[in-house]
Amino acid sequence: MEPAAPSPPSEPQFSPAEVRRLYWLKDHGFLRAIWTNFHKLDEEVWRHNHPSPVRLAQLQAMGAASILSLRGLNGDISKMEAATCARLGLPFEAVSLRALALPDQAQLLKLFDDLRTMPKPLVIHCKSGSDRTGLASVIYLHAFKGVPLPEARKQLGLRFIHNPWGKARIVNRLLDAYATTHDATGIGMEDWVRTQYDPATLS
């Protein structure tokens, strides 16, 4: 008789006290409770700051079908979100982007894949819902919905608490480089990322 296959690892569980300590205090979630930075790009993709476990359930009740975090899957905050989504039955993916540095090619291409394939309506978020979420919103509107780049780039604006004069303005180097090549050749954004994007030359 063959031995039983090992059970898959279970999602970590977080007590209410751990949620309060990790999300509400350590990750400054109390500020996000006041303002969610929630906006619908269209009926298929919504942008948000990092939702609390309670807010994830509320988003699901509003019709959200999946969650895409741009904060990666390292650290207890992201693991807590993954566990909450698993409990709710919400498909969850994570892409590791940074607000103050250009993303690497592999992570950008995963972002394209997730935007294309994840169940809709999809909620995308980072911590504040401003810089990384703004970049993902630009990509979605321009690359998937055909919105002209200057119009799509309004997703990186003061309305969404993106500071275009702060360190997070580095994402505009990526968009400027793409715009130059796109205007000259007509190349699409995903093809540009796949064949020409090199963050080392833009940093």
- CATH class, 16-202 region: alpha beta
The per-residue pLDDT for 8 is: 39
| pLDDT, averaged across the chain | 87
For residues 3 and 94, the model is more confident at 94
Strand 92-94 relative to strand 122-125, pairing: unpaired
The per-residue pLDDT for 71 is: 94
Rounded to whole angstroms, the Cα distance separating 20 from 24 reads: 5
- Main-chain phi, psi angles of 47, to 5 degrees: -110, 150
Q: Give Cβ neighbours of residue 98 (< 8 Å, ≥ 6 apart).
A: 132
Q: Tell me how far CA of residue 10 lies from CA of 53, 86, 108, in angstroms.
A: 18, 10, 29
Rounded to whole angstroms, the Cα distance separating 1 from 42 reads: 54
Residue with tokens 């993916």: 93
How many Cβ atoms sit within 10 Å of the Cβ of residue 22?
17
Q: To the nearest whole percent, how much of the chain has pLDDT over 90? A: 66
Query: pLDDT tens for residues 91-134?
Result: 999 999 988 899 999 999 999 999 999 999 999 999 989 999 99
Residue range 3-14: average pLDDT? 49
Confidence of residue 31 (pLDDT cuts 50, 70, 90): low
Strand 92-94 relative to strand 66-69, pairing: parallel
For residues 10 and 72, the model is more confident at 72
The per-residue pLDDT for 169 is: 83
Rounded to whole angstroms, the Cα distance separating 138 from 104 reads: 17
The per-residue pLDDT for 16 is: 64
The per-residue pLDDT for 25 is: 53
Query: pLDDT tens for residues 124-166?
Result: 999 989 999 999 999 999 999 999 999 999 999 888 877 777 7
pTM of the model: 0.86
